Chain A
Amino acid sequence: MSARAWVPAIFIALLLLLAAGLTLNPREVPSPLVGKAAPPFELPLLSEPGKSFASKDRLGSVWLLNVWASWCVSCRDEHPVLLELAKSGAVPVYGLNYKDRREDGLRWLAAYGDPYRLSVVDAEGRIGIDYGVYGVPETYVIDKRGVIRYKQIGPVTREIVAQKILPLVGQLGRE
């Protein structure tokens, strides 16, 4: 190969690299929590502050924990998907209302619909720290033994539900 021919060769290699880059998601950081026990919590309910919900109550069944907030713009994008998922009854969805004001959260659910079995309040974001939440929304699939099996950072889409969450939930249900 002559020296000049190297220039297009390198350029084509660069194009291939960039094209490959488009299929990857740099924000998809592998979570160290996947495969580990979900950090336990007991938090007050959003709808009734007097009552509380403990994560250990869910041992024995597969469930989804969705971190949301009324101030979060992309939560609005994933909301219809969560509503559909909840309606299908494939898996119960629990909400973690993150760094939000109670009245704002309730108003938001009234306006856009409530896909959650129940939502708990994490106003200070302390449980969020345990779960390594760094962007809202985030969604966790937790198995019967209370182990996190999947973590979705950013909005859940119909593709993710169909291709990742539902197959995983089906498989975990049989375990």
Chain B
Amino acid sequence: MIPELGQIALSLALAVALFLSFVSLYGAWKADASLMSFARPAAQSIALLVAFAFGCLVHAFVVNDFSVAYVATNSNSALPLQYRVAGAWGGHEGSLLLWTLILGVWMTAVSLFSRHLPEEMSSRVLGVMGLISAGFLAFMLFTSNPFDRLLPAAADGRDLNPLLQDPGMVLHPPMLYMGYVGFSVAFAFAVAALLAGRLDATWARWSRPWTTVAWMFLTVGIALGSGWAYYELGWGGWWFWDPVENASFMPWLCGTALIHSLAVTEKRGAFRSWTVLLAIFAFALSLLGTFLVRSGVLTSVHAFAVDPKRGVFILALFALLVGGALALYVWRTARIGLGGSFAPVSRESFLLANNVLLAAAAGTVFLGTLYPLALDALGAGKISVGPQYFEAVFVPIMAPALFLMGVGPFVRWKHSSLPELAVLLRWALAVSLALGLLLPLAMGNWSAMVGFGLSLALWVVLTSLLSLKKGARTRSHYGMVVAHIGVAVFVVGVTLVKGYEAEKDASMRPGDKVELAGHVFLLEGVASVAGPNYQAARAKVSVSRDGRPLTVLHPERRIYTVQQSPMTEAAIDTGFTRDLYVSLGDPLERGAWLVKVQYKPFIDWIWGGCLIMALGGLLAASDRRYRFGIEKKSETFVEARA
């Protein structure tokens, strides 16, 4: 009964979504206030209906209702409760439902925080979001219904994929979707502004906090996914340039560019048509990511169920939403002026360079991700594009971006002087170069790559701190400084891991020792342990340094009973300056085990940097001018129209 209620709620939500997009888009076109007044309640009811459906699905998981096909494929009665709840978004159908639910959350947020916007603007924004949610609800109901019944009911479920039975996986999809779907707000604002034919500073100001918050969630989501891959896949890698990882990274790069370009559009009225294009692209890339993950056109660690019908549906949705927005863009932007002019050395030109570099980075990732597909489509053979490509093209693009990041905050709008900048920043440059090049010596192993990376990171930190003295004392300025420092922390992590990580594979019997980077790892024994839904071999490895005991680690090799899949559960000793990473491999002959020990200097700085970036985004988005300034601005906007 309850799954049917969920199904009815979804069907109702689809009807309300279609109603919402009609009344708000048509109402805004005809300037009909009575039609537009339906927009807010309709948007909120979609959110409530989808939330109810989501509750029904979670209920089916919690009570082990294996007559629901989706529950039977993704859960098991022996699965611990927290993973039964998270199992609701562990598979294709449920994660679409989560997607739609989060869209509902964003729609509700827009309906609540857009009271100061002109009615037509907020109405169009909600109308566009209503269209998106109608598309996804239809996708779910027609091709991937989470409430489909299985008759006769299964006796027990096939269990959740063991890789997903992890706390990181419980949080990663909601965070990532908050980011992906959050870009739909910037997209809806862009389309609404195109429809109204007014792309001005006010539009940019309204879009900014939404874009920043979505970007912040996406940053956290990607960091969680990367952290999960690091400790759960058991190889110690943190980024694999896998197609699905790239699918989340492209919207991030594009969203980062959008945040910066919105600043120019708001402050100087320049780059308008570029900014609106970026807003469309950021969401288009999120949709593309959804397509790549859900259609199975690319092979990846996220190998989800492949159903051609789903691929066609989501491609059609992609074509409709993005194609429509792009057509509107081509049609409308002919009328938009260029905005304020600027000199070659100015804040505008530096942000332009930032945008060019970030767009180029997104472009190279895009190329590398889709190249195998293009070759295959042309019948030119099957290839895969590996990390070598991405690293070779990515570093040369990001290094100048990091350098500019240091200078940008000191450049004035419209016109600035280079000699003045040089005088201002020469000490920061000298100190970061000297320290950056000397620090690797102190670590005992100098390499140009490490010196270069550390210099860039120091440069960003020093200039950011220096800009605190000069810049405006606003939250958005502090937010920028914090986010830039986050980038520097991230760069330190990547540089030192790449430069100094070490690993050893050893065949060990109890009592054997292996030495790595000054640490001695002693395998004390391997015991058999039973978990709730798995059997495990658990090793006891004690680690000592200079003869002093440091810690005891318990890496496991698990066999999940239902799916019979082996899983490596690495044991990690996390530290501020290094991780010790031990994973237990296959049993070898005569009581020996394959043991992999790894030394990962500064690896946690990678995710720490991401969290600091996100914190910066939060600071910037909470700037008071977005909260109080809007009212005043929107009044002048209405007057200008009248």
Contact = CB atoms under 8 A, between A and B. Distances in A.
Contacts of B296: 26
Given A24-B376, A73-B158, A19 B334 contact: no
B319 A15 contact: yes
A21 B329 contact: no
B291 interface: yes
A5 B315 contact: no
Interface in A61-105: 71, 73
A4 B329 contact: yes
Interface string A1-33: 000110110011011011111101011011000
A67 to B, nearest CB: 15
A21 B291 CA distance: 11
A22 B295 contact: yes
Contacts of A4: 273, 329-330, 333-334
A103 to B, nearest CB: 15
B297 A7 contact: no
B377 A7 contact: no
Contacts of A22: 295, 297, 308, 311-312, 315
B323 A18 contact: no
A122 B264 CA distance: 66
Contacts, number: 66
Nearest to B297: A21
A22 B296 CA distance: 8
A7 B326 contact: yes
B382 A29 contact: yes
Contacts of B315: 15, 18-19, 22
A11 B299 CA distance: 23
A17 B374 contact: yes
A73 B159 CA distance: 12
Contacts of A20: 377
Contact of B373 (A11, A17, A29): A17
Given A17-B370, A22-B308, A27-B299, A8 B330 contact: yes
Interface string A25-61: 0110110000000000000000000000000000000
Contacts of B277: 7
B527 interface: no
Contact of B376 (A7, A8, A14, A26): A26
B435 to A, nearest CB: 44
Interface-centre pick from A11, A14, A21, A24 (highest chain B CB count, 10 A): A21
A147 to B, nearest CB: 23
Nearest to B330: A4
Nearest to B273: A4
A18 B313 CA distance: 12
B323 A24 contact: no
A21 B327 CA distance: 24
B351 interface: no
B298 interface: yes
Nearest to A16: B377
Nearest to B280: A7
A111 B358 CA distance: 58
B572 interface: no
B242 to A, nearest CB: 13
Nearest to B370: A17
B564 interface: yes
16 contacts: A4-B329, A5-B330, A8-B327, A11-B323, A11-B326, A17-B370, A17-B373, A17-B377, A18-B291, A18-B295, A18-B315, A22-B308, A24-B373, A24-B376, A26-B297, A26-B373
* Nearest 10 Cβ contacts at the A-B interface: A21-B297, A20-B377, A26-B299, A71-B564, A22-B311, A21-B373, A4-B330, A8-B326, A24-B376, A15-B319
Interface of A: 4-5, 7-8, 11-12, 14-15, 17-22, 24, 26-27, 29-30, 71, 73
Given A17-B370, A26-B373, 6 more contacts: A11-B323, A17-B377, A21-B297, A22-B315, A26-B298, A29-B382
